[in-house]
């Protein structure tokens, strides 16, 4: 295992993560393990990698107003609560049934996102009271369509509860749980695909920090292993962030669906082998 | 850019600065590692290459690959933390009490998690 290979492997992970709204941990961990990195080091490294993808892509997305800051600020409380509960529950609850519950949730998301493939931008006519009170709405310039898209967010309470579930999954599985978060943004909060992936990217950096700090103090971060991964993830995510707004919403959903199928397979596999 | 976009601009600057500093340090550190190891890029996972705050602080004055790469990882690690703090300060200036509450809660929870685990 050498530095150049780690750097080159991380670039596509960061690129895909930036486009699909994931940190890339779900892709990176199995690759590192296959390269001979012990699982605990692979998970710890992926936590820092998630922060790199999140910060690298969000730097561009926030400026372009693709990320919805208010939605992110509101949901961060829920996702961090879920992550803490998840980390505590791993000690008391057998993981086997949970993998199947997470897989079922993702299968449900897959079916719903597939049904929306033909719908370019979802339209919310009326917001619920909480969403309106928190001013959960936004606008961004869609480079592909060539116009400013204004959208409203709804179901804030359900979105918050969904984020607790996503945080729970992330805390228990040691990943950023971007696939869960993007599903909640799209399906519950009715956000368009691009703000969904970018806002998910923004939030996972913060939740990954909670996990990464644990690994930092427990000595599981290896400087020479993490460093090239951080470089690769940053470079990949910066490239991904430049491309996303030029893609059609259909392509963004297709990339997401592909990774969703991959995540479902992993959940079922881990459920069977746990 | 209008006043309404100020929060986006501020957060974006925090993230861009964090990313640029981290990436620059990282690439410089990897370059140093290459020469320190006699033009070899192989890595070994052992106790000596473990990232720890104590070790980093003790060697902070030395310019070697371990210190530079550790600094780069720590910069990217704490970029989201600075981002949450910046948002909180922004909403305080705006006197937007709903979002002061939300960002303050996240900041405190995150601080507790970092300091007491």
This model of the complex carries an ipTM of 0.88
pLDDT digits (tens, 9 = 90+) for A35-93: 888 878 888 888 888 898 888 888 888 888 889 988 999 999 898 888 888 777 766 77
Of B33, B98, B105, the CB nearest to A134: B98
Instruction: State the smallest CA–CA distance between residue B96 and chain A in angstroms.
Output: 10
Total tally of structural domains belonging to chain A: 1
Contact A148, A139 (CB under 8 A): yes
* Residues of chain A with C-beta less than 8 angstroms from the C-beta of B97: none
pLDDT reading at B3 higher than 80: no
Cα-flanking dihedrals φ and ψ of residue A263, to 5°?
-65, -40
Of B12, B33, B70, the CB nearest to A63: B12
The structure tokens listed for B16 are 């861009």
The more confident residue out of A16 and A119 is: A16
Residue A205's nearest CA partner among A79, A111, A84, A19 is A79
Interface of A with B in 179-208 (CB under 8 A): 205-206, 208
User: What percent of chain A stands above pLDDT 70?
Assistant: 95
Average pLDDT taken over every residue of chain A: 84
Residues B42, A84: C-beta atoms closer than 8 Å? no
The verdict on B43 touching A (C-beta cutoff 8 Å) is yes
Interface of B with A in 55-74 (CB under 8 A): 65-66, 69-70, 72-73
- Domain residue limits, chain B: 3-41+51-115
Instruction: State the smallest CA–CA distance between residue A38 and chain B in angstroms.
Output: 10
Q: Closest residue of B to A220, CA-based?
A: B50
User: Domain of A28?
Assistant: 3-273
pLDDT digits (tens, 9 = 90+) for A101-128: 878 878 877 877 777 666 667 676 788 8
The more confident residue out of A70 and B52 is: A70
Of B11, B72, B103, the CB nearest to A230: B72
Residue A60's nearest CA partner among A245, A247, A248, A250 is A245
pLDDT digits (tens, 9 = 90+) for B66-89: 899 999 999 999 999 999 999 898
Residue A71's nearest CA partner among A21, A31, A114 is A21
What is the Cα–Cα distance from B67 to B70, expressed in whole angstroms?
A: 5
* pLDDT band at residue A229 under the 50/70/90 scheme: very high
Residues A69, B27: C-beta atoms closer than 8 Å? no
């Amino acid at each position: 295992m050498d530095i150049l290979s780690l750097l080159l492997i991380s670039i596509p992970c960061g690129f895909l993560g930036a486009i699909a709204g994931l940190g890339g941990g779900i892709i990176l961990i199995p690759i590192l393990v296959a390269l001979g990195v012990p699982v605990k080091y692979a998970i710890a490294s992926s936590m820092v990698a998630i922060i790199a993808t999140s910060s690298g892509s969000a730097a561009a997305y926030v400026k372009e107003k693709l990320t919805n800051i208010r939605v992110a600020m509101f949901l961060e409380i829920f996702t961090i609560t879920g992550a803490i509960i998840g980390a505590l529950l791993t000690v008391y609850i057998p993981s086997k049934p949970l993998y199947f519950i997470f897989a079922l949730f993702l299968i449900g998301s897959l079916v719903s996102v597939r049904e929306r493939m033909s719908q370019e931008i979802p339209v919310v006519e009326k917001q619920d009271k909480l969403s309106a009170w928190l001013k959960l709405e936004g606008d961004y310039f869609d480079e592909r369509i060539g116009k400013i898209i204004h959208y409203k967010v709804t179901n804030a309470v359900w979105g918050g509860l969904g984020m607790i579930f996503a945080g729970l999954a992330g805390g228990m599985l040691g990943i950023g749980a971007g696939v869960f978060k993007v599903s909640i943004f799209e399906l519950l909060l009715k956000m368009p695909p691009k703000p969904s992936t970018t806002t998910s990217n923004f939030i996972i950096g913060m939740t990954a920090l909670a996990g990464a700090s644990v690994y930092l103090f427990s000595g599981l971060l290896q400087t020479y292993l993490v460093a090239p991964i951080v470089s690769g993830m940053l470079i990949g995510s910066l490239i991904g962030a430049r491309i996303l707004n030029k893609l059609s919403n259909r392509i963004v959903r297709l990339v997401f669906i592909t990774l969703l199928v991959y995540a479902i397979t992993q959940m079922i596999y881990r459920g069977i082998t746990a | 850019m209008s006043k309404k976009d100020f929060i986006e601009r501020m957060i974006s600057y925090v993230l861009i600065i964090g990313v640029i500093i981290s990436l620059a340090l990282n690439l410089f550190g990897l370059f140093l590692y290459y020469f320190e190891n006699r033009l070899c890029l192989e890595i070994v996972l052992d106790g000596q290459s473990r990232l720890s705050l104590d070790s980093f602080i003790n060697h902070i004055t030395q310019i070697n690959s371990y210190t530079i790469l550790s600094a780069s990882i720590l910069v990217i690690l704490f970029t989201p933390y600075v981002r949450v703090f910046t948002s909180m300060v922004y909403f305080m200036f705006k006197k937007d009490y709903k979002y002061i509450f939300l960002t303050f809660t996240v900041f405190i929870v995150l601080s507790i998690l970092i300091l007491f685990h």
